[in-house]
Structure 1
Amino acid sequence: FSILGVVAGATERLRLVTSVLVLPYRNPVLTAKMVASLDVLSGGRLTLGVGAGWLREEFEALNSPAFNARGAVTDEWITIFKQLWSQSPASFNGRFYQYSDIRCEPLPLQKPHPPIWIGGHSRAALRRTARHGDGWHPVGAVAAAPLPPQEICAHLDTLKALTEAESRDFSALTISYKAPLYDAGTSSPDGSRRPFSGTPEQIAGDIRTFAAIGVHELIFDFRGQSITESIGRLQWFAAEVIPLATG
């Protein structure tokens, strides 16, 4: 949140996205206040990407709620957020957290609240998206689980069915994929080219492929070994890939 506050003050149009905030690591009331304040300070530019977490050792190190309860905790925290961002004062008596007659002001600028994207592609994450989310944000930037287009399509079919079962509009969800940006020579274990690697033309083609299957937004990871390298990767992408993908 400190970095996002700096970025919010230094920019005017850039969308601010957490990708993702592991909710069981955080106090829900304090987090709700921080999100609301950042949304106001940024002029309503915040999207809250959230996840349940996956590494047991981190839960233990942070003295977080029980690892096996992380999904239920995440669902309850989202419920708390939505209440605090719409009611003042508010009271809540949940399984993991309780409060009485508290206020979270100023309320977020975006109404009814900043968009909430649910990270992950497990069945539980898809159910959480269908029930609570404004968007689905699977992470493809993991070499062991890259989520190629055919898998995304299968998950989208499941998400559509789950969303309709919740009597919600699937078409209103934002589908945002966290995409890796591989070096040109990076290949899959079977020797084939990984999506989002290779020439600018190939990467632009991958962008069009993901758009065609229903992905609305791609969030690329430009991290390098240094700040200079990261900025260089971003500048290369802006100069060489974006014109091909949008032309």
Structure 2
Amino acid sequence: MDIGLTLPNRGVLLGVTTPDEMLDLAEAADRSGKFRSVWVGDSLLGKPRMESISVLAGIAGRTKKVRLGVACMASFVLRDPVLLAYQWASLDLLSGGRTVLVGCTGIVEQPGAKVEGELYGVTGKDRVTRLIEWIALIKKLWTEDSVTFEGKQYRCSGVTIEPKPAAKPRPPIWIANNAREDKPFKEWTPEDFALVERTHRRCARHADGWQTSAWDPKDLEWRIKDTMKKVAEEGRDPSKFETHLYHNINVNEDREAAILESQRFLDAYYVPTKFTRSFVDEWVATGTPRQCADRLRQLRDMGFTEVTLRPAAWDQHGQFRRLVEEVLPLLN
């Protein structure tokens, strides 16, 4: 299992980090040789932060090996797909072909993102159609010239994106989904399972990989098995389909202190959401280096090809150092 590092680009507004510190951490992750990827978060207005593609362009200039992506691009269905394809192609060129584009439907009608949906005229019922159409159009723009596209949500004629991405035939496109993450797995109804299975089918049919940030262990085990089952049913090679988990970490010999700091960090980062202790205990690897490594091994055993970790703490550099020097060596 590979490890990624998630940088808190919303943290510049919270006193967690600065632009220079984020770039320094990205470069340190690249030099360490222990990380396959570096990620940032995304939103436009709902949860203000440094714009994701711009930040990745800066990181591309400071790194040589790590893959670069947005976990996940919550604004994917809000952005103009031709402009997004053009911007991402340039980013891929800047990085030498190291990008992964992760789209999701976003939450355009829920608190924290409603302002974005209203501004761009996107409703909840539009999201799935836009996700599928955007992915199809972006794939064509990256590999063809004079593209004509007739969709329900977007139309264009004779469009060519130049220059094309560095990655050939194109950068990978994943789909992120966490449907029903707000409901305990043990309380799911047949309708809940059917809904989540539809999101997995969509991912298996249209994407090159799957990303999730679900946290309940039983929930995660079922999600990854069902997704891979659908990948095989779609006639695709499961060994070439990446499964990626967004997780958090707080290394501290006092595990209770680690949980409490993580809770305060997440509450501040995702205001107005308030996180319960039990939620934090499942979404954050906490405690001693060995306890954190045990959690990562549990995720590896579920079958994830990669887990990206965000330090859920104000001391980003200190947590990064402990992760590299004390936690990751225990996974070998």
**TM-score clears 0.5:** yes
**Contact 2:85/2:138 (CA < 8 Å) preserved in 1?**
yes
**Contact 2:78/2:117 (CA < 8 Å) preserved in 1?**
no
Q: Distance in 1 between matches of 2:246 and 2:65?
A: 20
Q: Distance in 2 between matches of 1:193 and 1:208?
A: 16
1:129 matched to which residue of 2? Answer: 203
1:110 pairs with one of 163, 167, 172: 167
2:156 matched to which residue of 1? Answer: 99
Give the alignment of 1:212-231 within 5 angstroms.
Answer: 212-225=301-314, 229-231=315-317
**Contact 1:117/1:133 (CA < 8 Å) preserved in 2?**
yes
2:69 pairs with one of 17, 25, 29: 17
1:181 matched to which residue of 2? Answer: 249
Shift of 1:95: 0.6
Shift of 1:112: 2.1
1:167 pairs with one of 213, 231, 235: 235
In the alignment, structure 1 residue 68 sits paired with structure 2 residue 142: no
Give the alignment of 1:185-196 within 5 angstroms.
Answer: 185=256, 186=259, 189=277, 194=282, 196=285
- TM-score normalized by the length of structure 1: 0.88
1:235 matched to which residue of 2? Answer: 321
In the alignment, structure 1 residue 5 sits paired with structure 2 residue 57: yes
Q: Distance in 1 between matches of 2:157 and 2:240?
A: 33
2:79 matched to which residue of 1? Answer: 26
**Aligned residue pairs: how many?**
237
Shift of 1:10: 1.1
Q: Distance in 1 between matches of 2:299 and 2:278?
A: 21
Uncovered stretches (5+) of structure 2, i.e. residues with no partner: 1-52, 180-195, 261-275
Q: Which moved more, 1:176-185 or 1:42-51?
A: 176-185
Once the two structures are superposed, residues 48-107 of structure 1 have per-residue CA deviations (whole angstroms, 9 ceiling, x without a partner) of 111110241144343242222101111110011101011112111111111111111111
2:136 pairs with one of 76, 79, 82: 79
Uncovered stretches (5+) of structure 1, i.e. residues with no partner: 141-145
Shift of 1:121: 3.0
> 1:55 and 1:223, CA in 2 relative to 1: closer, same or farther beyond 3 A?
farther
Once the two structures are superposed, residues 157-210 of structure 1 have per-residue CA deviations (whole angstroms, 9 ceiling, x without a partner) of 211232233222222111110012246322875699546111100111111121
Q: Distance in 2 between matches of 1:231 and 1:169?
A: 39
> 1:193 and 1:72, CA in 2 relative to 1: closer, same or farther beyond 3 A?
closer
Q: Distance in 2 between matches of 1:237 and 1:115?
A: 28
**Contact 1:121/1:155 (CA < 8 Å) preserved in 2?**
no
Q: Secondary structure at the match of 2:103?
A: strand
In the alignment, structure 1 residue 49 sits paired with structure 2 residue 106: no
**Contact 1:178/1:218 (CA < 8 Å) preserved in 2?**
yes
Q: Secondary structure at the match of 2:143?
A: coil
- TM-score normalized by the length of structure 2: 0.67
> 1:206 and 1:39, CA in 2 relative to 1: closer, same or farther beyond 3 A?
same
